Amino acid sequence: MLVAGMAQAVEAPVSVRLPKYVIKKIDELVEKGEFKSRSDFIKYTVTLALGQIMMEQARELARKITPEEARE
């Protein structure tokens, strides 16, 4: 899954230790052409996870807003 528009500049490198079976699965996806590299896979999945967390936080905030506050 080659995703256009991924971060172009590296802000800060991060070192991650993963179980060997996870690395093997990532490598399989890279070999199939789903991702350019391990790094691209990790950037994609971290970005996806952050997006999901942010959406859940927004939903929680929206649940707390009263109808009166929503009209303002």
Give the number of residues written for the chain: 72
With respect to residue 53, please indicate whether it lies within any of the assigned structural domains: yes
With respect to residue 58, please indicate whether it lies within any of the assigned structural domains: yes
Instruction: Summarize pLDDT for 40-67 with one digit per residue, the tens.
Output: 999 999 999 999 999 999 999 888 888 8
Q: How many domains does the chain divide into?
A: 1
With respect to residue 16, please indicate whether it lies within any of the assigned structural domains: no
- Determine if the pTM surpasses 0.75: no
What is the H or E stretch that residue 34 is in? Answer: none
With respect to residue 50, please indicate whether it lies within any of the assigned structural domains: yes
CA dihedral 27, 4, 13, 48 (to 10 degrees): -80
Give the lowest-confidence range in 6-15, 28-37, 38-47. 6-15
Q: Which domain holds residue 61?
A: 41-72
With respect to residue 4, please indicate whether it lies within any of the assigned structural domains: no
With respect to residue 56, please indicate whether it lies within any of the assigned structural domains: yes
With respect to residue 17, please indicate whether it lies within any of the assigned structural domains: no
